[in-house]
Amino acid sequence: MHTHPRKLLVIIAEAALEKPLTEDLKRLGAQGFTVHDVRGGGRRGTRAGDWEADRSIELKVIATEAVAQALADHVLAAYCPHYSVTMFLADAGVLRPEKFS
Amino acid sequence: MVAPSRYTSRCAAARPAPLLPDPLVLFFLLGLAARLLRSDLRLPEALYEALALYLLLAIGLKGGIELASHAVGGLGVQVAGVLALGFATPLVAYAVLRGLGRLAGPDAASIAGHYGSVSVVTFAVAAVGAWTGPMLGFSVGGATLLATLAASASYIAAPTAMRIAIPEANPAMSLTAALGVTFPFNIVVGIPFYHRFAAAAAA
């Protein structure tokens, strides 16, 4: 099966960032996204998601390498200094390239 | 009107001492004990959201019914006064936190924002006790509610709003103040104190 190479950008962040992040990704050229409610922990403690201020999201975006990189750079500069953010890029193969510009 | 029962009349002046503390205080202690014992006690998410919605609806309905029995024009001055109090609370809190508390600007602004917002849960607790008096007439019940409004700090809506508005502020400070200190203080000590103070001021 022939697939087209794209990047999967996964951003795990405080739930308060959902709206700004989804606005940013559209502005920077991504066509779509998926959001999950999640919970987890790390060096700075746990975010159990028991109430509003403790909720976290996982945002997935599949885009071209250029768009994914621009979005990752923006998140590093705009949110990482003051918010809990975990982020990684992975290779993805898509079947319909026009959906993931 | 709330039907007068042993529970709703908990702020009435003369009343024999109950056998048990207020159920609200008992529930607070239950939560505290569950956390200390590292219990997995946890309400289902849907119930939590349904209860929050129920509280808002109950306050809106009861408030609306009470307001309907008053002439709207006569409330103008009081509404303006309560609005002014709402604007003044965060400004005063910010000045105190910066001056006496020596907090950094973003932290002081964030905490002040939490105290400028109202804790609906705290307000509902006070309302159950005080609604037997005429609402917003700055009667004893009204004054108690107003004091609770001013003294409570939001920990539901404000943390999310403040997180976006002031990213530099440390949420641990405002959340500890609003949820860890102010909320239990108001429920256990504050509301009865405001009520006594209002009663003394009226007498």
Query: Among A14, A20, A52, whose Cβ lies nearest the Cβ of B156?
Result: A52
Q: In this predicted structure, what is the pLDDT of residue B23?
A: 78
Low-confidence ranges of chain B (pLDDT < 70): 1-21, 71-74, 125-138
Q: In this predicted structure, what is the pLDDT of residue B110?
A: 92
Q: In this predicted structure, what is the pLDDT of residue A24?
A: 95
Model confidence band, residue A22 (pLDDT cutoffs 50, 70, 90): very high
Res A37 pLDDT > 60: yes
Q: Which residues on neighbouring strands pair with residue B202, listed in sequence order?
A: none
Interface A:B, Cβ pairs < 8 A: 27
Q: In this predicted structure, what is the pLDDT of residue B129?
A: 56
Q: Which residue of B has its CA nearest to A78?
A: B167
* Distance (Å) from the alpha carbon of A76 to chain B's nearest alpha carbon: 14
Model confidence band, residue A53 (pLDDT cutoffs 50, 70, 90): confident
Taking the CA atoms of B185, B172, B156 and B25 in sequence, report the sign of the dihedral they define. Answer: negative
| Amino acid letter, B169 | A
Q: In this predicted structure, what is the pLDDT of residue B9?
A: 46
Res A21 pLDDT > 70: yes
Residues on chain B touching A20 (C-beta within 8 angstroms)? 164
Q: In this predicted structure, what is the pLDDT of residue B132?
A: 47
Residues on chain A touching B156 (C-beta within 8 angstroms)? 51-52
Q: In this predicted structure, what is the pLDDT of residue A13?
A: 95
Its pTM stands at 0.72
Q: In this predicted structure, what is the pLDDT of residue B18?
A: 61
Residues of B with CB under 8 A from a CB of A: 42, 48, 155-157, 159-160, 163-164, 167-168, 171, 175
DSSP characters over A10-39: EEEEEGGGHHHHHHHHHHTT----EEEEE-
